[in-house]
A and B are shown apart, each in its own frame.
Chain A
C-alpha cells in the first residue's frame, strides 16, 4: 500500500490544486453493531450501513478500491465486501478469531493475526487459500508491513514483543521486547522505522528497521489525566513521513508526534475511547474511531484541529478509506 500511495497521492494533489476536495468513501467497522458504516469524506455524513458478520474489527481495502476486507472475529472469518454493491461477496479462510490484518504492498497477500491461537495466518487473496500459519507470541494483534513488502511485524499483546517476520521464508528473524500490551505496528513510509504502541505500558516504541533495536520511546502526558488512562493503540504516519498520529484510547485524544524530534506536538480531543485511525488518500484528513461515544472524528491534517464528529454504528473499532 505504501509503495502504491505516493504515486496516487501525487496525482491527486495535482488534481486537488484545480478542483475542490475529493470525496472518498470511508468504511468504519462497528464492533458491537455488527455493521460497517460508509461515510462520504467530503460531506462527512454516513451514506450507507452494511450488515456484516459478528464482531467486526480489523478492516482494510484492496489497492484498486474494489473490495473491503473485514475481520468478523466471532464468525472466525474475513468477509469480502464489494464496494460497488456493498454486498458481502465472499470470505477468506482467516483462521479463528481474526482481529487485525495487513495487506502486502503488491495487494496479493493478506497477513492476519489470530488472537486466540497465537498465530499469524498468511492468505493468498486470489486463490482464497491459506498459505501458512506462523506461530508467534500470546495474543497476536498489531500487524505492520514494510514498504518493500519484505518484512512483516506482528505484535503479541501478552508476550509483549514485536516479532519481525521474513515474508519470503515466513520465519521470525527478530523479537523485540516492548512495553505491555503492544497493539499496533506501523512502518514509516521510507521503511526506516517501525512504531509500536503499548496500550497498558502507555508508550510508543520506535524500532530501527536496520538494527531491530528500540531507538526511542515516546511517552505521553496530559494535564489532569492519570497516566494509567493514557493507552496508545492505533498509529498512523503521514505519507511524507513528517507526522505520526497516535490514538490514546480512554484519554479521548489523538497525539500528534513530530517524527524528527519524537516530541508530542499536540493532543487533539476527539470522542471517547479512541482506538484506530485512517488518513484520507489526499492526506487532508485523518479519521479516528471513538468506541464509547459511537462516533468518528475528522481531524484536519494541515491544522491538526478536529473538524467534525459523526455518529456511526455501535462501538466503532476500525476505519479504512477507499483509495479512489
Chain B
C-alpha cells in the first residue's frame, strides 16, 4: 500500500528539515523558523478560537467546583502538542480565548474571532448559544467543536453539518453506567431526579438506558430545588437527617440512580440512603469522558504533561477540548493544509482517527459528527471501570452501543 501522504510532502519535508528545523534548543512547542528560504514556503497558520460561556458555578462539595480554566487548559495543551508536530511540518497553531456570560449574545464574539482569522471554534457554551454560532458561522465555513454540552438534541433534531461534538451525550453517559450495572447484575434501580432541565434530560437518558439494556426502574422520585444554599455551616447535620427520610418509602432496589446535573442533591445520597445501596449517575459511580486519575492506555503521559504545563489534574472538559484541538491538528497534518473545509472533510472520512488515551482509535459518527468514545466510570478518587462492557456487541463498533445509534437518529445532515 502507498503512503497516506502525497509524495510531494516528502520532498517538501526533506527540504524543510534541512533548511529550517532542528536547532537543538527550543524545538518544543515553538513555531518553526520563519519562511524557508530554500523552498520559499511560509508556515501554514491554523487559528483556533475558544468561546466559553462562564459564570462561577455552585457545587455541593467545594472539591467539585470546576477549575477556573477548565477546558481552556486542555485546548492549550493540544495547541502545544500540535505545534511540536507542526515544527516538523511548517504548521503553526494558535488559540484565541474569549469568555462571555452564559446568556449573552454569542454571535458578536464569534464574528470578531472570525475577523481575527479563526476558522475553527471550540465552544463551551449553552445549547442555544451553540446553535446561534453554528448558524451564524455556516456561510463563512466556520467549523465548531462542541466540547461541553451533553444535550442529545444537538446531535439529533438540531444537528448541524458544521458542528462536531467531542463531549459525550447524556445518552452515552447513561448507557455507560447502565451497561456496568447490568454487567454487575444489579438490575433494579430507583431514579431520583432534580427539577432543572439538565436533570430531566439526564433522567430521560437513564430511563432510555434501562429500557435498552434490561434494567428495571422500580420507582422514581423528584428532588425539588427549593433554592437553598448548596453549602452551609453545619449543613451536614441536617442532610444526615433529611436523606434517610427522603429515601425511606422507596421499594426494594439494588442501586440508586441520581440525575442531578445542577448540584442540588446528588452528593447528599451516598451513605445517607434509608437502606445501604450504592449510588450511580450524578453522584457515586459517575460516567465521564475522562477522569483526573485515568492512567491506562498511555494516559499517564498526558496526565504528566498536563500537570507539568497547567499545574492541576485534567478534567473531562479539558480532555474534550484537547481531543477537538488535536483532531484539527491531525487533520492539518494529514491533509498538509490549514483549510477548514478540507480538514472537516478529512474528519468525516474513513481515514480519520485520533489517539486520545482511551485505548482505541476515536472517530466521528458520520451521521451526526459525534465523537465515538468509551465512557469512564469513576468515583471522586479513581477509575472503577470503562464502558462499553464486555459482551455488549455491535456490528459496526462496540462504541456505538453507547448513545443514540444510527438507526434511531433524528439527524439529517
Cα–Cα, bound, A174→B15 (Å):
9
Within B292-328, the residues touching A (CB, 8 Å) are 298, 301, 304-305, 308, 326
| Closest CB in chain B relative to A72 CB, distance in Å | 15
Known contacts A172-B22, A200-B360; A226/B398 CB under 8 A: yes
Within B343-370, the residues touching A (CB, 8 Å) are 353-355, 360-361
- Which of B4, B17, B21, B354 sits near A177, CB closer than 8 Å? B4
Within A179-210, the residues touching B (CB, 8 Å) are 179-181, 199-202, 205
Contact between B5 and A177, CB atoms less than 8 A apart: yes
Cα–Cα, bound, A180→B354 (Å):
7
Chain A residue nearest to B29 in the complex (CB): A118
The stretch that binds A, out of B6-14, B195-203, B213-221, B258-266, is B6-14
Contact between A138 and B81, CB atoms less than 8 A apart: yes
- Chain B CB within 10 A, most for which of A175, A202, A226: A175
Contact between B88 and A137, CB atoms less than 8 A apart: yes
Contact between A118 and B355, CB atoms less than 8 A apart: no
- Which of B5, B14, B355 sits near A181, CB closer than 8 Å? B355
Known contacts A137-B84, A177-B4; A172/B298 CB under 8 A: no
Known contacts A173-B17, A200-B353, A213-B10; A139/B27 CB under 8 A: no
A115 within 8 A of B: yes
Known contacts A177-B5, A212-B10; A116/B24 CB under 8 A: no
Contact between B14 and A174, CB atoms less than 8 A apart: yes
- Which of A97, A138, A172 sits near B84, CB closer than 8 Å? A138
Chain A residue nearest to B86 in the complex (CB): A159
A89 within 8 A of B: no
Contact between A200 and B3, CB atoms less than 8 A apart: no
Chain B 5-46, CB within 8 Å of chain A: the 1/0 string?
101011001100110011011111000000000000000000
Cα–Cα, bound, A159→B361 (Å):
15
Contact between B355 and A200, CB atoms less than 8 A apart: yes
Contact between B298 and A139, CB atoms less than 8 A apart: yes
Q: Which residues from A are CB-within-8-Å of B334?
A: 177
Contact between A175 and B360, CB atoms less than 8 A apart: no
B162 within 8 A of A: no
Cα–Cα, bound, A161→B333 (Å):
10
A229 within 8 A of B: yes
Q: Which residues from A are CB-within-8-Å of B14?
A: 174, 212
Chain B 113-126, CB within 8 Å of chain A: the 1/0 string?
00000000000000
- Which of A136, A170, A174, A202 sits near B17, CB closer than 8 Å? A174
Chain B residue nearest to A55 in the complex (CB): B300
Cα–Cα, bound, A180→B323 (Å):
14
Chain A 197-241, CB within 8 Å of chain B: the 1/0 string?
001111001000000111011010000001011010000000000
Q: Which residues from A are CB-within-8-Å of B304?
A: 97, 116
Q: Which residues from B are CB-within-8-Å of A175?
A: 13, 17, 88-89
Known contacts A158-B81, A159-B84, A201-B361; A135/B27 CB under 8 A: yes
| Closest CB in chain B relative to A173 CB, distance in Å | 6
| Closest CB in chain B relative to A117 CB, distance in Å | 8
Cα–Cα, bound, A174→B10 (Å):
9
| Closest CB in chain A relative to B108 CB, distance in Å | 35
A132 within 8 A of B: yes
Chain B residue nearest to A99 in the complex (CB): B301
Chain B residue nearest to A163 in the complex (CB): B88
Chain A residue nearest to B326 in the complex (CB): A158
Which residues of B are interface residues toward A (Cβ below 8 A)? 1-5, 7, 9-10, 13-14, 17-18, 21-22, 24-28, 81, 84-85, 88-89, 298, 301, 304-305, 308, 326, 330, 333-334, 353-355, 360-361, 397-398
12 A-B pairs besides A135-B27, A180-B353, A199-B355 with CB distance below 8 A are: A135-B25, A139-B301, A157-B301, A158-B85, A158-B355, A172-B21, A172-B88, A177-B334, A181-B355, A214-B5, A228-B397, A228-B398
The 8 closest A-B pairs by CB, nearest first: A135-B27, A214-B3, A200-B355, A217-B1, A159-B85, A228-B360, A180-B355, A181-B355
Can you list 21 A-B contacts (CB < 8 A)? A97-B304, A118-B28, A118-B84, A133-B24, A138-B81, A158-B81, A159-B81, A160-B330, A161-B88, A170-B24, A174-B17, A175-B13, A175-B89, A176-B10, A180-B353, A200-B355, A201-B353, A201-B355, A202-B361, A214-B2, A226-B398
